Every structure is written in C-alpha cells, then in structure tokens.
Amino acid sequence: MNDVMTRTVVNGLDLDALGATVQAVADDPVLGQVRFSVRTCWDGQTRSTSKVRGYALGGEQIAREFEIAADEPLELLGTNTAPNPQELLMAALNACMTVGYVAGASMQGITLDRLEIETSGQLDLRGFLGLDSSIAPGYEQLDYVVRVAGNGTPDQFEAIHQAVLATSPNYFNLARPIRINGTLAIG
C-alpha cells in the first residue's frame, strides 16, 4: 500500500483538512470559538504599529507574530509611510471575502484563474474634524467589485458570491452595526 496519502488540493487549499475542520466544529462547537486581538501603539505624528501576538482557537492559545503599520498621507498630516486606517479597513474586508471566494470555489472543484476585489468609499472630513455634527465621521456606504475568472459557470460564481455575503465575518461586521465596548485607562 502507498504510504503517501493523496490530498485533494484546489486553489492551494487542502480540502481534506478543510472538511476535517468543518466536521470537528460541527461535532464540538467549542472548537469553533475564535478570539482575535490586536494591540496598537502610537509611533508619533499619525503613525502607529499594530501587533498581533496570537489568537485563541477552541480555548487554546496559539502564538503568531505580525506587525501592521498605519500612517496618513502627507495631505492629511501624515508621513505617507504606510496605508491609512481606512485603507486597512478595506483591505481587511477584501481579504476576508477573498478567503470565502477561494474556499467556496475550491469546495466546488472550481479552479480560479483570477480573483480581485476592489473596494472604495467616500467620507467627509468635516464629520471627522467635528466641524458639522450632521455629517457622519465615517462611510455611509462602501462600494466593491469582485472580478473572478475560472472554470466555474456564472451560476456557480453567483452562488459563491451569495455564500460569501452570508458568511464573511468582515462583510458581516461592516454591513451591520456591532457593539463596541470601550474602556479608557489613564496613566
């Protein structure tokens, strides 16, 4: 018998591992509980660095380390050394939806040739600057376009699109109000 196990991999995703994860969470919902956290420190002017040190999955702490820089453009009093928070917000939305499209296509055996999501939004600085309380400090809407190509049919891609809208955490987080609980610690 062959000692090498044949894995089903589509678009770089190991579908056997994905199936095992889905089954494990279905069997024990505690395994599906995930807590992410990020610590952000000011680096001067409009710059900051966010650090990821790990996350909890099913009650187990898993270490990982990443740094994410943020800054504002020169025209908004920054030094233009990194994306600004609005660009990072859109990047987080796009990246989360990308995972959904890739997983959805892969589970249907669809090989992707192209997947691109372009998101944009317009906000009015008068709201952020506190110049007019009738103007929202953030976005009233975000617009995005998904460009996808592969060996799937238009109906398959539409079904994947609808599944992403129904299951993407960051799409959910931005499309609906969520509670944000803040605490101010001085000193």
pLDDT at 94: 98
Token pair in block for residue 53: 């040190």
Token pair in block for residue 175: 């499309």
Token pair in block for residue 67: 């740094």
Q: How far is CA 173 from CA 1, 23, 59, 90, 93, in A?
A: 49, 25, 23, 12, 9
Q: Give me Rg for the CA atoms of the chain.
A: 20
pLDDT digit string, tens, across residues 19-56? 999 999 999 999 999 999 999 999 999 999 999 999 99
pLDDT at 7: 78
Q: Which residues contact 109 (CB under 8 A, 6 or more apart)?
A: 10
Beta strands, E only, 18-155: 34-36, 39-44, 47-57, 60-70, 112-121, 142-150
Closest CA to 66 of 95, 45, 23: 95
0.85 cut: is pTM over it? yes
Question: Which residues of the chain are under the pLDDT cut of 50?
Answer: 1-3
Closest CA to 164 of 112, 92, 91, 102: 102
For each of the domains in the chain, give its residue range(s) and CATH number, in order of start: 33-82 (no CATH), 83-179 (3.30.300.20)
pLDDT at 103: 97
